[in-house]
């Protein structure tokens, strides 16, 4: 049996780098990661460079390339496969606008677990001749492979799946969905925002075609920075019309005579890169690499085992799948009034969030077993706000 110190060796080694943790129990990394010394320093460096050098554009372009490399390393992407965007929405819009109507395919299949921005962007394509098919949740809190099977056919251009659902923490069987989609000749777009930084992913091993994610949650950075991965062989088949000068083959040619997108994934970018967020993003991603994504996954899985067992003991309802392999970092618990529960916990110094009738508890590498015990103690006191 591991001692308390052994169980929490990972968080104990890093907690001093996150000042907020000295006075709050923070279980809301699915919304925003805690500010670290490294990210604070990165923002300071941005202001220093601006203040001392005025307009160090060459260095800022170099920072953009560093962010591209950092993210590429995180997902196993190769040269020319990453675009640095301002959000997941910007990436999905670029993809949607450039999708080839190969073989006249006009159907987009999306899971019912998608984040609103993904559903809304694909539905916006209806006016461009696409039809959108939704894959519903089954009886269990997952979207079953059979439902993807039923929704996809020879007319399907693309299947959009969220890796971990922002509402209930369900983790999709990515391998299964990709296999099914590819059998039909369809592309797969993965929204990895709720998974990135909490579980390892290798886009090539999985055969992902397109992937989008952002920096502000488990990558510990801030809003304004997103990434897009596009499999190298696919890049030139997509010609985004949602575009801009930083997508051009030669950005500083300043040519207004034609549209000549970059030969690599930079073609999915648009305007001036979000430089302040890039400084922060590099710091956050590199810090997460240093902490270790595998170690984070193992630690958070342990915390969530304790959490789920504790909720069972309280007679509460865990909405997230019971199978640890089908869970992300987020655990959702049914509430009678989720806003009141989030408020009551905040008054106890425990920060969480809610969606869809559920309390969302999202642990990260810096959370300890004590944090989970503090939450379970508070939930016992606020038992009336848990659905039974
Ligand atoms: C799964 C998922 N996708 C997308 C988003 C939002 O993306 P963006 O605001 O960068 O467009 C979020 C953020 O909350 C999310 O959880």
What pLDDT, in 10s, does the model give residues 281-322? Answer: 999 999 999 999 999 999 999 999 999 999 999 999 999 999
Helix (H) or strand (E) run with residue 125 in it: none
Cβ atoms of 279 and 263 within 8 Å: the answer is no
Separation CA 108–CA 157 (nearest Å): 6
- Ligand 1 centroid–CA 330 distance in Å is 15
Query: What contacts 26, CB < 8 A, 6 or more positions away?
Result: 20, 34, 351, 366, 367, 371
Beta carbon of 87 within 6 Å of any ligand 1 atom: yes
- Ligand 1 centroid–CA 85 distance in Å is 13
Beta carbon of 194 within 6 Å of any ligand 1 atom: yes
Separation CA 150–CA 172 (nearest Å): 16
pLDDT at residue 141 in the model: 86
Separation CA 179–CA 50 (nearest Å): 48
Beta carbon of 279 within 6 Å of any ligand 1 atom: no
Number of the ligand 1 atom closest to the C-alpha atom of 226: 10
Cβ atoms of 341 and 382 within 8 Å: the answer is yes
- Ligand 1 centroid–CA 294 distance in Å is 23
Hey, how many other C-beta atoms are within 10 angstroms of the C-beta on 136? 12
Helix axes 275-291 and 293-314, enclosed angle (nearest 10): 80
Beta carbon of 60 within 6 Å of any ligand 1 atom: no
The two three-digit tokens of residue 196, written as one number: 């990135």
Q: Is the pTM of this model over 0.85?
A: yes
Q: What is the CA radius of gyration of the chain?
A: 21
- Ligand 1 centroid–CA 382 distance in Å is 30
Separation CA 50–CA 63 (nearest Å): 13
Query: What contacts 258, CB < 8 A, 6 or more positions away?
Result: none
pLDDT digits 0-9 by tens, 54-90? 999 999 999 999 999 999 999 999 999 999 999 999 9
Beta carbon of 191 within 6 Å of any ligand 1 atom: yes
pLDDT at residue 138 in the model: 80
Sheet with strand 82-85: strands edge to edge: 82-85, 226-230, 210-214, 187-191, 156-162, 107-111, 131-135
Beta carbon of 162 within 6 Å of any ligand 1 atom: yes
Residue of the nearest CA to atom 14 in ligand 1? Answer: 31
């Amino acid at each position: 049996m591991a001692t308390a110190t052994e169980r929490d060796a990972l968080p104990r080694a890093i907690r001093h780098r996150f000042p907020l943790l000295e006075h709050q129990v923070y279980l809301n990394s699915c919304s925003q990661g805690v500010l670290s010394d490294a990210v604070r320093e990165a923002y300071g460096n941005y202001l220093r460079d601006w203040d001392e050098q005025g307009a160090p554009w060459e260095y800022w372009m170099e920072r953009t390339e560093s962010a591209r490399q950092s993210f590429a390393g995180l997902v196993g992407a190769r040269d020319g496969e990453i675009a640095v965007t301002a959000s997941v929405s910007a990436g999905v819009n670029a993809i949607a606008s450039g999708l080839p109507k190969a073989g006249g395919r006009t159907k987009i299949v999306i899971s019912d677990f998608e984040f609103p921005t993904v559903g809304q962007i694909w539905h916006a394509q209806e006016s461009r001749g696409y039809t959108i098919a939704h894959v519903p949740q089954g009886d269990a809190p997952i979207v079953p492979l059979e439902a993807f099977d039923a929704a996809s056919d020879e007319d399907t251009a693309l299947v959009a799946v969220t890796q971990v659902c922002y509402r209930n923490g369900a983790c999709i069987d990515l391998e299964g969905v990709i296999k099914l989609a590819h059998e039909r000749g369809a592309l797969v777009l993965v929204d990895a925002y709720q998974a990135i930084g909490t579980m390892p992913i290798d886009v090539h091993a999985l055969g992902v075609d397109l992937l989008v994610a952002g920096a502000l949650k488990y990558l510990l950075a801030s809003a304004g920075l997103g990434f897009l991965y596009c499999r190298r062989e696919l890049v030139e088949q997509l010609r985004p019309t949602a575009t801009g000068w930083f997508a051009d083959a030669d950005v500083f040619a300043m040519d207004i005579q034609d549209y000549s997108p970059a030969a690599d994934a930079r073609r999915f970018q648009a305007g001036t890169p979000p430089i302040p967020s890039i400084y922060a993003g590099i710091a956050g991603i590199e810090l997460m690499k240093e902490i270790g994504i595998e170690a984070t996954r193992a630690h958070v899985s342990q915390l969530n085992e304790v959490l789920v067992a504790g909720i069972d003991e309280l007679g509460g309802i865990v909405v997230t799948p019971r199978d640890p392999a089908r869970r992300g970092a987020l655990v959702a618990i049914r509430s009678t009034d989720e806003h009141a529960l989030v408020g009551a916990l905040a008054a106890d110094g425990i920060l969480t969030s809610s969606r869809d009738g559920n309390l969302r508890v999202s642990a990260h590498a810096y959370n300890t077993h004590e944090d989970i015990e503090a939450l379970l103690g508070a939930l016992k006191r606020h038992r009336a706000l848990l659905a039974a």
